[in-house]
Amino acid sequence: MSVYQFDVIGTIESPYKQKFAIPRQPGLIPEARGKLVLTPPYANDEIVRGITSFSHLWLVFVFHETADKGWSSLVRPPRLGGNTRKGVFATRATFRPNPIGLSVVKLERVYRQNDTLILELSGIDLLDGTPILDIKPYLPYADALPDAVGGFADSAPETQMTVSFSEQAITFCNTQLNYPELTGLITKVLKQDPRPSYKKQRHTEQRYGMTLYHFNIKWTVNGEHNHVTEITQLP
Ligand code: SAM
């Protein structure tokens, strides 16, 4: 067996503080903005020269949160309701022989902050603290394949879920001037129904909570409707 060692070139700062709320692929929630923080020796201006001429980047990263949880040849894609097994290499599952992920994200801007270099991104599907191994520009002529066939995940997941906000939640979002995307982010996260498949079968009202940025969001699910009951700021 060959063993290779890689350096972490930077780390992701993400609104997603737990796996629960994260969409299954990038680009599904454009409001999900994050930062890739490059630290020395990768925080030099030469290393990113020319990068802002690309709208999108591929990020190669480590599924650090689940890296020590092992893997198996067959996995149950949530997309198939969690009951059908597919080979791990026929899926984008996080539990893989090498816990490496690949996401295409939008590059919003690049700037320097003290001795770090920040790549501001949107449409991310990455947990806060995700270690990044490499960045490559997205090349439409080679990477966009309109005739490609997407197997059991041929199109973006469809959802009938609707979302409403309590007065407290609306007021809370409206006063977060540094997070103008907060209402949109919460709405899209809930619309894609982050609950595990087996919980979706339940018919009685369920209560849930999640953390986005440093906000605690509480909501109830009744049938196909989410109602955001309360948002508070974490200490
Ligand atoms: N786009 C990537 C890919 O195809 O390799 C990720 C796909 S994977 C199905 C997406 C899920 O990875 C998210 O829903 C989230 O739960 C999980 N995830 C994101 N960042 C992670 C991390 N650093 N460690 C473990 N799991 C992570």
Q: E strands along 141-235, which residues?
A: 162-165, 206-212, 215-222, 225-233
Atom of ligand 1 nearest to the CA of 93: 9
- Contact 126 CB / ligand 1 (< 6 Å): yes
Interval 141-159: pLDDT, tens: 999 999 999 999 999 888 8
Q: Structural domain boundaries of the chain?
A: 10-151, 162-233
Pick from 104, 127, 120, 99: which is nearest to 21 by CA?
Answer: 127
Q: What distance in angstroms lies between residue 202's CA and the mean position of ligand 1's atoms? A: 26
CATH architecture assigned to 10-151: Beta Barrel (2.40)
Mean pLDDT, residues 93-122 taken together: 97
Say if residue 97's pLDDT is above 90: yes
90 vs 201, which has greater pLDDT? 90
Examine the predicted complex and report whether its ipTM is higher than 0.90.
yes
Same fold, 10-151 and 162-233: no
Say if residue 205's pLDDT is above 90: no
From 102, 104, 127, 193, the mutation candidate for ligand 1 (largest count of ligand atoms within 8 A of CB) is 127
Per-residue model confidence (pLDDT) at position 187: 97
From 20, 22, 75, the mutation candidate for ligand 1 (largest count of ligand atoms within 8 A of CB) is 22
CATH of the domain spanning 162-233: 3.30.2310.20
**Both structure tokens of 143:** 């990477």
From 14, 88, 125, the mutation candidate for ligand 1 (largest count of ligand atoms within 8 A of CB) is 125
- Contact 103 CB / ligand 1 (< 6 Å): yes
Mean pLDDT, residues 76-99 taken together: 94
Confidence of residue 22 (pLDDT cuts 50, 70, 90): very high
Interval 172-200: pLDDT, tens: 999 999 999 999 999 999 999 988 776 77
Residue type, 164: S
Q: What distance in angstroms lies between residue 51's CA and the mean position of ligand 1's atoms? A: 24
- Provide CB contacts within 8 A for 108, sequence distance 6+: 33, 120, 121, 122
Interval 24-49: pLDDT, tens: 999 999 999 999 999 999 999 999 99
Per-residue model confidence (pLDDT) at position 214: 97
Per-residue model confidence (pLDDT) at position 157: 86
